[in-house]
A = this chain, B = another copy of it.
Amino acid sequence: MTERISSVDTVDVRFPTSRHRDGSDAMNPFPDYSAAYVVLRTTSGAEGHGLVFTVGRGTEIAVAAMRSLAGMIVGQPVEELLADPGAVARRLTGDSQIRWLGPEKGVVHMAAGGLVNAVWDLAARRAGKPLWKLLADLTPEQLVAQIDFHYLRDALTEDEALALLRGAAGGRADRERILLERGYPAYTTTPGWLGYDDEKLARLCREAVDAGYQLIKLKVGGNLADDVRRMGIARQAVGPEIRIAVDANQIWGVPDAIGWMRELSAFDPYWIEEPTSPDDVLGHAAVRRAVAPVKVATGEHGHNAVMFKQLLQAGAIDVVQIDACRVAGVNENLAILLLAQKFGVPVCPHAGGVGLCELVQHLAMFDFVAVSGSTEDRAIEYVDHLHEHFVDPVRISGGRYLAPTAPGMSAQIVPASLAAFRFPDGPEWAAEAQPLTTVA
């Protein structure tokens, strides 16, 4: 009997991180790191796990979107799905009626991404490989066939993508060995949350250097005098050699961004991340021109490959920050990795939250082995929160991500954690009043 997808189960799971202001930044003073979590189950008992990362309220909308899309997957033959996840991605993002709600943006697109990632997780488990290895073992032709080039050809054609992948074929085996031996560089955002006091900031900066990190990141944009003081403390703590990136989380308009960064430039910031609206391609380009040689980084809210295409075409960014859970899953991120390579811009993935480190490491490691062939000026963001809730958590050593070896995309949450933190009825939440903005 043909194996089929028998169910698509969703869970609204929220971790009360706001109680300690972990993850606090200029736009997210009190996030509760959360996920619209999904499990595909097959008639043979196999599973694929995926998630949409959220920051609390509104997770129920992501769950609703996943449920609406799930009908396109339930009942489908598994072999067919796994043979061509790109076809699944196109179906989920291209439904002629649901598409009106985007297109290819916002919570519906994120929900599609959660489902697509779950299909890839199932594929990698089935293949007995971690996702980065599954992807690295595909041929250039197979990879290119997984990408929707429809809106991208003015910047990257199928032939150019093939040439990039073929050009990176040499040395793949060596890079895979290096990856397995030494891992992939990480940078840490742990010291720099806005909610931490100066003493904690200085201590965490020193600990980060001691732990082997070459790049740390501070949140900025709350108050200029505070930022100047905090940058001074951080620079003092880490010395002149360690890179310090700063992250404004979209708080500024374009003129504010330029003025504010002028004040911080004395402390040699490495990049300014999300200086303004993530939609403002031309704004990022203006900021980049004004703040050079400080680099401009963005991408965690880049809602689809068309936005990355433009950021690269406009010369608006120095660093591409892919996110595993913003665009429509692995397939759209393959397109973004290839666009970045075409334009010669390094990829430093956004992570943190809950599950983002676990998922995105696979994409960065695939990029190293099969696309860019380099880890120079590249690092995956790392934050040491909530990894204990994952069955296959990231492993960090000496400021580097160790390559995952378990089959899948590392997306599975421990069942006991899902049960405890399920919203609103899990025991960790049932005692609390529901947030104001969630009504029945």
Interface residues of A (CB under 8 A from B): 27-32, 54-58, 60-62, 64-65, 67-72, 74, 95-110, 149-154, 250, 253-255, 276-283, 286, 301, 303-304, 306-307, 309-310, 313-314, 435-440
Known A29-B96, A96-B28; judge A437-B151 contact (CB<8 A): no
Is A32 in contact with B107, judged by CB distance below 8 angstroms?
Answer: no
Cα distance, A54 to B255, chains bound together (Å): 36
Known A106-B106, A253-B154; judge A95-B57 contact (CB<8 A): yes
Chain B residues with CB under 8 Å of A57's CB are: 68, 95, 97-98
Distance (Å) between the CB of A10 and the closest chain B CB?
11
Copies of this chain, whole number: 2
Is B98 in contact with A253, judged by CB distance below 8 angstroms?
Answer: no
Partner of A61, one of B31, B55, B104, B107: B107
Is A438 in contact with B60, judged by CB distance below 8 angstroms?
Answer: no
Is A61 in contact with B68, judged by CB distance below 8 angstroms?
Answer: yes
Partner of A30, one of B68, B74, B96, B100: B96
Is A439 in contact with B283, judged by CB distance below 8 angstroms?
Answer: no
Cα distance, A96 to B222, chains bound together (Å): 14
Chain B residues with CB under 8 Å of A32's CB are: 97
Known A28-B96, A96-B27; judge A108-B152 contact (CB<8 A): no
Distance (Å) between the CB of A281 and the closest chain B CB?
6
Is B107 in contact with A153, judged by CB distance below 8 angstroms?
Answer: no
Cα distance, A65 to B303, chains bound together (Å): 18
Residue on B nearest A109 in the bound complex, by CB: B106
Chain B residues with CB under 8 Å of A153's CB are: 253-255
Cα distance, A310 to B97, chains bound together (Å): 27
Chain B residues with CB under 8 Å of A109's CB are: 106
Is B107 in contact with A71, judged by CB distance below 8 angstroms?
Answer: no
Q: Which 4 A-B pairs have the closest CB atoms?
A: A106-B106, A56-B97, A58-B98, A64-B64
Is B103 in contact with A72, judged by CB distance below 8 angstroms?
Answer: no
Residue on B nearest A326 in the bound complex, by CB: B100
Is B104 in contact with A439, judged by CB distance below 8 angstroms?
Answer: no
Chain B residues with CB under 8 Å of A253's CB are: 149-154
Known contacts A68-B438, A154-B255, A282-B313; can you find 4 more A-B pairs with CB under 8 A?
A: A32-B97, A58-B108, A74-B439, A279-B303
Cα distance, A304 to B283, chains bound together (Å): 15
Chain B residues with CB under 8 Å of A58's CB are: 68, 95, 97-98, 100-101, 108
Cα distance, A367 to B110, chains bound together (Å): 36
Partner of A60, one of B56, B68, B70, B437: B68
Cα distance, A435 to B30, chains bound together (Å): 39
Chain B residues with CB under 8 Å of A306's CB are: 277, 279-280, 283
Distance (Å) between the CB of A145 and the closest chain B CB?
17
Chain B residues with CB under 8 Å of A278's CB are: 103
Distance (Å) between the CB of A383 and the closest chain B CB?
16
Residue on B nearest A157 in the bound complex, by CB: B255
Chain B residues with CB under 8 Å of A150's CB are: 253
Residue on B nearest A96 in the bound complex, by CB: B28
Interface CB pairs A-B, < 8 A, 24: A28-B100, A31-B96, A55-B97, A55-B100, A57-B68, A58-B101, A61-B101, A61-B107, A61-B108, A64-B65, A68-B437, A98-B437, A103-B250, A103-B277, A105-B105, A150-B253, A151-B276, A153-B253, A154-B253, A154-B283, A279-B307, A280-B309, A281-B310, A282-B314
Distance (Å) between the CB of A25 and the closest chain B CB?
10
Chain B residues with CB under 8 Å of A55's CB are: 96-97, 100
Partner of A154, one of B69, B103, B106, B286: B286
